[in-house]
Chain A
Amino acid sequence: MSALLDIENLHVAYADGRVPVLQGISLQLQAGRTLGVVGESGSGKSTLAQALVRLLPAGARQTAGRVQFEGRDLGGLNERAMRELRGKAMAMILQDPLSSLNPLLTVGSQIAEVAQRHLGLNRAQAWQHAAELLRAVRLAEPEARLREYPHQLSGGMRQRVAGAIALAGHPQLLIADEPTTALDPTVQVQYLRLLKDLQERHGFALVLITHDLGIVARLCDDVAVMYAGRIVERGPAAVVFGAPAHPYTRALLGSLPSLHARAGALRAIPGQPPQPGRLPGGCSFHPRCALASAQCRAAVPPLASTGVAATACWHASTLLPLEATT
């Protein structure tokens, strides 16, 4: 079966190609599956989301590679065809719903607009559809909410509205970029469970972009760990979190404080994540890696299969399996 989303050797760079931010990203996502993309600032994870919907910021451009969606090369589509795809087959949820919602329009008209444009409904049908969608995202009193403006809602409610807008065109693919980072922890868990329930009901595939390893471990089928514009580890979430192979993934999981592990020094990772355009030579993680050797400083390791998963590390084959449980 061919993948719903097929990214092949994607390169994106800023400043006329001088500052690479994505270097050779290859990923596949099957219909109805969930892919988690984890990384820190500067890892390129948000640029990846923007490249998927072809909404790269000014100054950034795709310098190589291909993104295929439902077997079609998105690079070959004109802006009009792309706009038809966005908001319908591909939808997006961003971190801050206050900036993605129009403050001057009611919630109802913003959802109904999508339904009218993409589903060909008339105004009355579209408003009815909007009420159903608000019910689907479990907002209380949906009819009353339809007539309200974004500022009248709490952060959690706004993010549910953003979810309803994303669902309005019956998407095949939902891209969520840090959807719960601005939410309180109890509201975050509710929203993530809602996303999962909606996915089971509507069957869309989900790309979840986040810095939060706990979210990915719980919510995703597959994980791609990004560092400095490259995927350093990729595989089923249970494998990547249960037996992480890349030194970065291992160190990151090992550095997290836990409710049950009190006192004692945390195993911090030394140094800083590199900024785009100022990458060290060879493996980008080598200045922070305890295993770094001459080979690591000299050459970029390829993302190589380790069975069910893949790891970009020269030492992957010699690493002992690590008990991830603390």
Chain B
Amino acid sequence: MSLLQLDHIAMHYPLRRSVGRATGTVRALDDVSLSIAPGESVGLVGESGSGKSTLARIALKLQSPTEGTLRFRGEPVAERGTSLRAFRSAVQAVFQDPYASLNPRMRVGDTVAEPLRSLPRANRPHDIAAQVAAALAAVELPADAAQCYPHQFSGGQRQRIAIARALILQPALVVLDEPISALDVSIRAQILNLLAELRQRRGMAYLFIAHDLPAVAVISDRIAVMYCGQLIETGPAARVATAPLHPYTQMLFASVLDPHDAHAWERPLPIGEPASPVDPPSGCRFHPRCPHAIERCRVDAPALRDTTGGQIRCHLVP
């Protein structure tokens, strides 16, 4: 059984010109279905406007979709009550900017302890200080960090604090939305290693969102690719990263400039800019940028269908 299941999720916003009636619809997400197995690490990639951060917010139940169901361990996530509280404990988040996500006036120890203190009294542990010390140790921060304030730490150390806070309730799933993109290049590998090691030790599942494609490839078991509000390809991480099937996935991964890859510059140049979810193109949403598009792609929207080990949304892939 899957741990978290996003079932036919749609997120549509009415588009208004200042005041008045809706003049259109922003189709931020359209019929997105994605499931995460216990202990699985799923990487979500796509460019701006693809809907990956909206999907992350829905997976965290920070916003409700206009259509579709979020299920946790098979059950729809409730709107309130103890079942929602249990979901909130089991699914935690780490965000991009550790300068914005930590309260500057709270000691690090209190920040990390906060999820424990907000548990109902009956479930609250007695050894909060010991658990905080263990969480700080797990992210390789010194024990005396608990007495300090966030400004006393560098960006990489702050992200470790955010990870410690996410881990303290022993979550089954952690949603990581661009957790390394605000960090220095020499720090990113430290955090990626830490995340990989913590997952191996604790058996958590990850939903990992990043625009750093090599980082996604390293941390994920499976990669899901989004374009303009839709999933267009899913598959095993190594296969998607090195032998992508969808023309968009090919274009995306071909734009990685790896300093060790002397041929990175010789690949065909990407065409156009990411499509806008305000007024998505007809047919296949990628067709205006697709080097292989045929007439059918302009009129007939391809469905997401199963392939060996994954899914694909393209008329041209057999």
User: CB-nearest residue of chain A relative to B264?
Assistant: A218
Contact for A256 among B154, B187, B189, CB less than 8 A: B189
- Within 232-282 of B, Cβ neighbours of A (below 8 Å) are at 237-238, 241-242, 251-253, 255-260, 264-265, 269-270, 273-274
In the complex, chain A residues whose CB is within 8 Å of the CB of B270: 186-187, 189-190
A231-270 interface code vs B (CB 8 A; 1 in, 0 out): 0000000000100000000011101111111110111111
**Residue B199 at the A interface, CB < 8 A?**
no
B26 to chain A, nearest CB (A): 15
- What count of chain A residues pass the 8 Å CB interface test? 49
In the complex, chain A residues whose CB is within 8 Å of the CB of B241: 259-260, 262
**Residue A141 at the B interface, CB < 8 A?**
no
User: CB-nearest residue of chain B relative to A155?
Assistant: B48
Known interface pairs A215-B257, A259-B253; A267-B269 also in contact (CB < 8 Å) = no
A248 to chain B, nearest CB (A): 8
**Residue B211 at the A interface, CB < 8 A?**
yes
Most chain B CB inside 10 Å of its own CB: which residue of A186, A270, A288: A186
Contact A184–B264 (Cβ < 8 Å): no
**Residue A132 at the B interface, CB < 8 A?**
no
Contact B265–A218 (Cβ < 8 Å): yes
**Residue B63 at the A interface, CB < 8 A?**
no
User: CB-nearest residue of chain B relative to A260?
Assistant: B242
Contact B238–A262 (Cβ < 8 Å): yes
Contact A41–B251 (Cβ < 8 Å): no
Contact A272–B187 (Cβ < 8 Å): yes
A157-B276 Cα distance, complex, nearest whole Å: 14
A76-B255 Cα distance, complex, nearest whole Å: 44
A188-B157 Cα distance, complex, nearest whole Å: 29
**Residue B193 at the A interface, CB < 8 A?**
yes
- Within 148-181 of B, Cβ neighbours of A (below 8 Å) are at 154-157
In the complex, chain B residues whose CB is within 8 Å of the CB of A99: none
Contact for A40 among B185, B189, B251, B256, CB less than 8 A: B185
In the complex, chain B residues whose CB is within 8 Å of the CB of A258: 214, 217-218, 258, 260
B251 to chain A, nearest CB (A): 6
Known interface pairs A184-B47, A186-B252, A262-B237; A193-B269 also in contact (CB < 8 Å) = yes
A29 to chain B, nearest CB (A): 21
A134 to chain B, nearest CB (A): 16
Contact B214–A259 (Cβ < 8 Å): yes
User: CB-nearest residue of chain A relative to B157?
Assistant: A272
B184-200 interface code vs A (CB 8 A; 1 in, 0 out): 11111110110011000
- Within 260-284 of A, Cβ neighbours of B (below 8 Å) are at 260-263, 265-270, 272-273, 275
A104-B223 Cα distance, complex, nearest whole Å: 42
Known interface pairs A218-B265, A257-B214; A189-B257 also in contact (CB < 8 Å) = yes
**Residue A325 at the B interface, CB < 8 A?**
yes
Of the listed stretches A77-85, A86-94, A206-214, A314-322, chain B binds A206-214
Contact for B189 among A188, A218, A266, A288, CB less than 8 A: A266
Contact B186–A273 (Cβ < 8 Å): yes
A235 to chain B, nearest CB (A): 15
A144-B265 Cα distance, complex, nearest whole Å: 32
Contact A187–B196 (Cβ < 8 Å): no
B220 to chain A, nearest CB (A): 9
Known interface pairs A218-B264, A218-B265, A251-B186; A185-B252 also in contact (CB < 8 Å) = yes
**Residue A154 at the B interface, CB < 8 A?**
yes
User: CB-nearest residue of chain B relative to A186?
Assistant: B270
**Residue A217 at the B interface, CB < 8 A?**
yes
Contact B257–A186 (Cβ < 8 Å): no
Contact B260–A259 (Cβ < 8 Å): no
A164-B25 Cα distance, complex, nearest whole Å: 34
Most chain A CB inside 10 Å of its own CB: which residue of B197, B214, B259: B259
Contact B252–A257 (Cβ < 8 Å): no
B208 to chain A, nearest CB (A): 12
Contact A257–B215 (Cβ < 8 Å): yes
In the complex, chain A residues whose CB is within 8 Å of the CB of B214: 256-259
Most chain A CB inside 10 Å of its own CB: which residue of B48, B215, B237, B238: B48
In the complex, chain A residues whose CB is within 8 Å of the CB of B274: 184, 186-187
Known interface pairs A184-B211, A218-B265, A252-B186; A241-B242 also in contact (CB < 8 Å) = no
A218-B213 Cα distance, complex, nearest whole Å: 18
Contact A213–B269 (Cβ < 8 Å): no
Contact for B211 among A154, A156, A185, A214, CB less than 8 A: A185
A289-303 interface code vs B (CB 8 A; 1 in, 0 out): 000000000000000
User: CB-nearest residue of chain A relative to B253?
Assistant: A259
B219 to chain A, nearest CB (A): 8
A257 to chain B, nearest CB (A): 4
**Residue A324 at the B interface, CB < 8 A?**
yes
Known interface pairs A185-B255, A190-B269, A252-B185; A269-B190 also in contact (CB < 8 Å) = yes
A273-B185 Cα distance, complex, nearest whole Å: 10
Contact A189–B255 (Cβ < 8 Å): yes
- Within 163-204 of A, Cβ neighbours of B (below 8 Å) are at 184-190, 192-193
Contact B193–A184 (Cβ < 8 Å): no
**Residue A326 at the B interface, CB < 8 A?**
yes
Contact B189–A257 (Cβ < 8 Å): yes
- 15 additional A-B pairs beyond A214-B264, A262-B241, A324-B260, beta carbons within 8 Å, are A40-B186, A185-B47, A185-B211, A186-B255, A187-B47, A189-B270, A213-B185, A255-B189, A257-B212, A259-B241, A259-B253, A260-B242, A268-B190, A268-B193, A273-B186
12 contacts between A and B (CB under 8 A): A41-B155, A185-B47, A189-B255, A189-B269, A216-B259, A241-B259, A256-B189, A263-B218, A272-B157, A272-B187, A273-B184, A273-B187
Point out residues on A near B: beta carbons under 8 Å. Answer: 40-41, 154-157, 184-190, 192-193, 211-218, 241, 251-253, 255-263, 265-270, 272-273, 275, 288, 324-326
A-B pairs with the 4 shortest C-beta distances? Answer: A214-B257, A268-B189, A186-B270, A217-B259
